A and B are shown apart, each in its own frame.
Chain A
Amino acid sequence: MAAKKERIQRVPMPEQDPDVRKRNFQEVPLGYSVEQAQAEASRCLQCRKPSCVEGCPVQVDIPGFINLITKGDFTGAIRNLWAKNALPAVCGRVCPQEIQCEGRCVVGKKDKPVAIGNLERFCADYERMHGSGELPPKEEPTGKKVAVVGSGPSGLTVAGDLILKGHSVTVLEAFHKPGGVLVYGIPEFRLPKDIVAHEVNFLERLGVEVRCNQVVGRTVSVDELFEEGYDAVYLGVGAGLPRFLNIPGENLVGILSANEYLTRANLMKAYKFPEVDTPIPRGTDVVVLGAGNVAMDSARTAMRMGAERVRIVYRRSREEMPARAAEIHHAEEEGIEFFLLTNPIRYIGDDNGRVKAMECLKMELGEPDESGRRRPVPIEGSEFILETDLVIVAVGSGANPLLTQTTSDMQLNKWGYIVADPETGKTTKKGVWAGGDIVTGAATVILAMGAGRKAADSIHKYLTWGW
């Protein structure tokens, strides 16, 4: 049986042609057809002890939903997914499957692993386009009120879990649109914003109240939320403070954090300027510093904005690049160049204070550092000038102090992140849980969702039993 299944090749995801897509903002992968999804689903061995599930931070019943696809029960499949994951359309698109579920897939030992992410996405898209819109069952109202601060992946997970358990849930979002990093960070061509809106709308239909323009820590404090009658508060505000390199010339015009560049492009839709009012700098020779997912998103956005050349400049080598494999692959296909083992040491501006070049040093790899990766060491005398007219700094982010500064009795670690129990998300402040990037530092959507899931379980216990 198993031998027969292995003969089917992994069904490739149909995609927009690189030369076309690199100049538009439409989604790159086009999605499986029913036939493609069922062919791919048939490759699953239906392991009795599925290691793929262990690789999933929210423990989706992977063989279960895949089996329902092979049977043609797509409604059953999405319900199965929803039981563990409130945002399957998102996860199917942005999870690093290769190091999670698909990385553990048994089929993957000899062949390419089952395309679990593509199948998850298929189920969510099928439901959105052809589904009945019928909601999953909800438990009886408990009369308890929960405030979720931040409407990113972890906040939405908490909201989705707790509303199904019968609690009343209000999500407070600082921006004018809900979705957090899903709307301001991840570009349209990777995660269309109407999909995020649909996922949020699904939660609203379940009864979650979403309030935008609420800067918790400024408009209202956490203590005031309790005064307003909330029984528990979940903090999923993200990391959010952009890091810069702190090298000379960094405040020249034309040097932006990836947060700013992507927020302009994604949340404010500045790629449509002047059709919309928010402008975005257009570079012809763009440099992106960093090699994570955010760097890839920035580089690919710059290419779509009409750049002639886009270079990723990274101080380590290819092996250490933290981006998801698919993002690196897509970026290369679109003509993004990689300048590895290169470290900028200063920016050079023109008379109007606009960036025109960077001075860089060549690096080589030395001994492993505390992250376990080989430390990049400068090569003496290797300085060279790299011309550029737009630099996007995507070297990570730190903890945004806006909320934590105004919240009493809550312990932070030395980097300003909230100290929370890794199993429950409980903070040192009574009735307050936290998860996602504001606890762990910048990580992935699915890890934030995993933290949200654990916190939701713990909040539910607390609201039910008082502990």
Chain B
Amino acid sequence: MFKIIKREEMAEGTVILNEIEAPLIAKKAKPGQFVILKAYEEGERIPLTMAETDPEKGTITIIYMVVGKSTAYFRDMKVGDSYQDIIGPLGKPTHIEKVGTVVCVGGGTGVAVLHPITRAMKEAGNHVICIIGARNKDLLILEDKMREASHDLRICTDDGSYGRKGFVTEELKDILESQKVDQAVAIGPVPMMKFVSRLTKEYGVPTLVSLNPIMVDGTGMCGGCRVTVGGETKFACVDGPEFDGHKVDYDELMMRLQAYVEEEKACYNDYCRLSEKG
């Protein structure tokens, strides 16, 4: 059992942070790796990239958006409750090295995943510029932490309620126009990663993206997480989750993410109805 020792709500309760006791995973995990969590016997196995690990304390932190029944159930667990099963760390860690100037672009809960990578990039001696975005000010997460992890933090909101009004790609374009960038890292919704990659490709800036496709086992066994990268099929769980952003087939990924959309909706609505009654 994996006990929740800290819980926070962010972005008006749509995003939840859980710090969980998982000493073996905490000892091994590196930035960019993920875990698979299952809350209870009949639960689904949910892959989430870790936002933080504390090997001393033996804990891992996940930050997730409530999007369906499983994440709604996660949200409803309290401090002291436990996840029945967590496996990890899975996937390959982010390749961190000193390259010069790195731009880290994060959207939605992708910012949570981007945070340890940003910090590691800075610690490796890079000059790190960070762009984080959200629909509006209240949905923005981890602003302080991202400011600390980077040299220069830029904020964008779709409605202009905070920072620059507009998409992260607009801010990125300005940066790419004005200075030499050696690497980009983009983590967030698939369309964001797609458009960031399209832009950085124009400027010839190598770009890492972190993908979160549907998967079951996370160890290379099911092939549910296959993505096309550079015309080849890759398994995100063992070959990724990070790939060369210029080579990913994002449209296929978006289609594959819709595979169970009807089932998920029905399941989530049932859960919400039951929760309201209960």
What mask results when residues 273 to 284 of chain A are scored 1 for a CB within 8 Å of chain B, else 0?
Answer: 111111101000
Interface size grouping (class) on chain A:
35 or more
> Is the pair B222, A253 in contact by a Cβ cutoff of 8 Å?
no
> Is the pair A257, B222 in contact by a Cβ cutoff of 8 Å?
yes
In chain B, positions 34-71 with a C-beta closer than 8 Å to chain A are 38, 42-45, 69-70
> Is the pair A176, B38 in contact by a Cβ cutoff of 8 Å?
yes
> Is the pair B270, A274 in contact by a Cβ cutoff of 8 Å?
yes
Minimal beta-carbon separation of B84 from chain A (angstroms): 7
> Is the pair A402, B220 in contact by a Cβ cutoff of 8 Å?
yes
Q: How far is the CA of A213 from the CA of B89 in the complex (A)?
A: 11
What mask results when residues 233 to 258 of chain B are scored 1 for a CB within 8 Å of chain A, else 0?
Answer: 10000100000000000001001101
B86 / chain A contacts, CB cutoff of 8 Å: 213
What mask results when residues 245 to 270 of chain A are scored 1 for a CB within 8 Å of chain B, else 0?
Answer: 01000111110110110011000110
> Is the pair B258, A260 in contact by a Cβ cutoff of 8 Å?
no
Binds B, one of A236-244, A336-344, A380-388, A452-460: A236-244
B267 / chain A contacts, CB cutoff of 8 Å: 273-274, 277, 279
Minimal beta-carbon separation of A459 from chain B (angstroms): 25
Q: Residue B222 contacts which of A213, A214, A259, A276 (CB distance < 8 angstroms)?
A: A259
Q: How far is the CA of A183 from the CA of B216 in the complex (A)?
A: 14
Q: How far is the CA of A34 from the CA of B219 in the complex (A)?
A: 44
Q: Residue B219 contacts which of A215, A257, A260 (CB distance < 8 angstroms)?
A: A215
The verdict on B100 contacting chain A, using a C-beta distance below 8 Å, is no
Q: How far is the CA of A240 from the CA of B217 in the complex (A)?
A: 11
The verdict on B81 contacting chain A, using a C-beta distance below 8 Å, is no
> Is the pair B264, A253 in contact by a Cβ cutoff of 8 Å?
no
Report the count of interface residues on B (CB-CB < 8 A).
Answer: 41
> Is the pair A219, B221 in contact by a Cβ cutoff of 8 Å?
no
- Given A176-B85, A218-B88, A401-B238, A259 contacting B221 (CB threshold 8 A): yes
The verdict on A413 contacting chain B, using a C-beta distance below 8 Å, is no
- Given A215-B88, A268-B44, A277-B69, A353 contacting B217 (CB threshold 8 A): no
> Is the pair A263, B217 in contact by a Cβ cutoff of 8 Å?
yes
Minimal beta-carbon separation of A395 from chain B (angstroms): 12
A260 / chain B contacts, CB cutoff of 8 Å: 216, 222-224
Q: How far is the CA of A218 from the CA of B88 in the complex (A)?
A: 7
For B69, the closest partner residue in chain A by CB is A277
B45 / chain A contacts, CB cutoff of 8 Å: 176, 268, 278
Q: Residue B70 contacts which of A252, A263, A275, A277 (CB distance < 8 angstroms)?
A: A277
> Is the pair A279, B217 in contact by a Cβ cutoff of 8 Å?
no
The winner among B69, B224, B233 for most chain A CB atoms within 10 A is: B224
> Is the pair A174, B24 in contact by a Cβ cutoff of 8 Å?
no
A251 / chain B contacts, CB cutoff of 8 Å: 226-228, 233, 252, 256
> Is the pair A353, B252 in contact by a Cβ cutoff of 8 Å?
yes
In chain B, positions 173-219 with a C-beta closer than 8 Å to chain A are 216-217, 219
> Is the pair B88, A241 in contact by a Cβ cutoff of 8 Å?
no
Q: How far is the CA of A218 from the CA of B50 in the complex (A)?
A: 15
For A243, the closest partner residue in chain B by CB is B223
For B91, the closest partner residue in chain A by CB is A218
- Given A213-B85, A401-B238, A402-B219, A220 contacting B42 (CB threshold 8 A): no
For A211, the closest partner residue in chain B by CB is B24
The verdict on B144 contacting chain A, using a C-beta distance below 8 Å, is no
> Is the pair B89, A219 in contact by a Cβ cutoff of 8 Å?
yes
Q: Residue B259 contacts which of A174, A244, A275, A281 (CB distance < 8 angstroms)?
A: A281
A269 / chain B contacts, CB cutoff of 8 Å: 42
> Is the pair B238, A402 in contact by a Cβ cutoff of 8 Å?
yes
Q: How far is the CA of A260 from the CA of B226 in the complex (A)?
A: 12
The verdict on A175 contacting chain B, using a C-beta distance below 8 Å, is yes
B172 / chain A contacts, CB cutoff of 8 Å: none
- Given A219-B88, A259-B221, A352-B255, A277 contacting B44 (CB threshold 8 A): yes
Q: Residue B28 contacts which of A219, A241, A252, A257 (CB distance < 8 angstroms)?
A: A219
- Given A215-B90, A244-B233, A257-B222, A263 contacting B259 (CB threshold 8 A): no
Q: Residue A174 contacts which of B38, B42, B217, B222 (CB distance < 8 angstroms)?
A: B217
Q: How far is the CA of A250 from the CA of B224 in the complex (A)?
A: 12
Q: How far is the CA of A251 from the CA of B263 in the complex (A)?
A: 20
For B255, the closest partner residue in chain A by CB is A353
A241 / chain B contacts, CB cutoff of 8 Å: 220-221
Q: How far is the CA of A401 from the CA of B70 in the complex (A)?
A: 30
A220 / chain B contacts, CB cutoff of 8 Å: 24, 28
The winner among B69, B216, B258 for most chain A CB atoms within 10 A is: B216
Q: How far is the CA of A263 from the CA of B217 in the complex (A)?
A: 9
- Given A174-B87, A269-B42, A274-B266, A263 contacting B255 (CB threshold 8 A): no
Q: Which residues of A come within 8 Å of B, CB atoms?
A: 174-176, 184, 212-215, 218-220, 240-242, 244, 246, 250-254, 256-257, 259-260, 263-264, 268-269, 273-279, 281, 352-353, 400-402
Pairs of residues from A and B, 3 with the lowest C-beta to C-beta distance, nearest first:
A353-B255, A260-B222, A279-B263
A-B contact pairs, 24 of them (CB 8 A): A176-B84, A176-B85, A215-B87, A215-B90, A218-B88, A219-B87, A219-B89, A220-B24, A220-B28, A246-B233, A251-B256, A253-B256, A254-B259, A256-B223, A257-B224, A264-B216, A269-B42, A276-B43, A277-B43, A277-B70, A281-B259, A353-B255, A353-B258, A400-B238
Given contacts A259-B221, A353-B256, 12 further A-B contacts (CB under 8 A): A176-B84, A218-B219, A219-B28, A219-B88, A244-B223, A251-B256, A273-B263, A275-B42, A277-B44, A279-B264, A352-B255, A400-B220
